[in-house]
Structures are given as structure tokens and as C-alpha cells.
Amino acid sequence: MATQTFYVFIERDEDGFYGGEVPQLRACYAQGRTLDELMKHIKEVIQLCLEEEGEESAPSEFVGIYKVEI
């Protein structure tokens, strides 16, 4: 199987926990007390998301992040 690249949006909440979400995969997110812990968890979750999506369902294409001020 070829290596796949995924982007992870990372935020830190008011309690200091890190949360990460993979926008290319539906409902693919994880949490950790540290960035290292988050990355360990997000890799596990990506594997699970890919298994659930199935081989014929390709991840969506990441386009970018835009800052919008209102």
C-alpha cells in the first residue's frame, strides 16, 4: 500500500488538551494531553477511518485554509 498524506487541524482547549481533526476524512478526530499523544491517537484514528471508508472511497482533496473576518 502506498503512503498517504493527511493534514491535521490542531487546536488547544481551555484545559490544555490538544484536539486534532483530519478534514479529508469524515468524522476523523482525536484528543491528547500533549502533541505527541495527539499524533499517536490521530494516526490510530486515521487507520480506523480508512478501514470504515473502504478501499473504493478515496479521501477528499485538501484545498487550503482561509481566514475570514466578519
Which three three-digit cell numbers place residue 29? 478526530
- Kindly give the parts of the chain with pLDDT less than 50: none
pTM of the model: 0.78
Give the three-state DSSP class for 32.
strand
Q: What is the pLDDT of residue 1?
A: 61
Q: What is the pLDDT of residue 42?
A: 97
Distance CA 9, CA 29 (A): 9
Q: What is the pLDDT of residue 21?
A: 95
Phi, psi of 49 (to 5 degrees): -60, -40
Q: What is the pLDDT of residue 61?
A: 83
Tallying the residues shown for the chain, one arrives at 70
Q: What is the pLDDT of residue 2?
A: 78
Give the three-state DSSP class for 18.
strand
Q: What is the pLDDT of residue 63?
A: 84
